[in-house]
Structure 1
Amino acid sequence: MLTLNDCIAFSDLLPEEIEEISRHERLGFVVALAKGHSLLDRPWGPPAIRQMMRDNLVRAMRRGDAASCAPTMEVYHRFQVRHPGGIDRRRTA
């Protein structure tokens, strides 16, 4: 039987990254995990996930929620190192 930790390990995402996807997409953790894993299989997936994190950061800054800005930036930078590149679909048109 697979546990949640097994699923996280197979997803190639960190729990904090899944939380960012969950927050952006307003999904439960397990559904966000599946969506994030699915996005990583696409050439445009990593840029899409990075954009979700940037959107979360902008939203926090507009709310004046400085407490969540630093952790979001840390997760963003860690994700960018682990999953560089990709094709931004918005720039290929």
Structure 2
Amino acid sequence: MLTYEECLEMSDLTPDEISAIAEHEHLNPMIAVALGHYLITHDGEQKIQRFILDDLERAKRCGDRHKQALLTGALRHFIANHPQQNGQRGY
């Protein structure tokens, strides 16, 4: 049986990116890893970026500066590591 860490390593996503997917889609982390991996391997990078942006906007509305900082870092990392994305880069 594979552990969460092993699946995360194979997903090409960071823990913060997986957390954003899990939060946005209301999934447990292991299922979010599977969804993230599927999206990365099936041209779904824009969808993952949208999840992160949606979560970031929610954190801003709630005034959660700590979560904003984590999600901003996740978004920057995602854009840097998935350059085929031409999405919003203002964060």
Q: Normalised by the size of structure 1, how large is the TM-score?
A: 0.85
Identify unmatched segments of 5+ residues in structure 2: none
Question: Which residue pairs with 2:58 in the alignment?
Answer: 59
Question: Which residue pairs with 1:24 in the alignment?
Answer: 24
RMSD, aligned α-carbons? 1.6
Cα 1:2/1:71, change in 2 over 3 Å: same
State the Cα distance separating 1:2 from its structure 2 match.
2.2
Q: If you compute each CA radius of gyration, which structure gives the higher value, 1 or 2?
A: 1
State the Cα distance separating 1:16 from its structure 2 match.
1.3
Distance between the aligned counterparts of 1:57 and 1:11, measured in 2?
A: 22
Distance between the aligned counterparts of 1:87 and 1:74, measured in 2?
A: 17
Deviations 1:34-80 (A, max 9, x none): 0000001122x111101100000101111111221111100100011
Matched, 1:37 2:41: no
Distance between the aligned counterparts of 1:66 and 1:87, measured in 2?
A: 26
Number of residue pairs matched?
87
Question: Which residue pairs with 1:69 in the alignment?
Answer: 68
The alignment-based identity, stated in percent, is 37
The runs of 4+ residues in structure 1 deviating greater than 3 Å are: none
Distance between the aligned counterparts of 2:85 and 2:57, measured in 1?
A: 22
Deviations 1:9-46 (A, max 9, x none): 11111111111100111100001010000001122x11
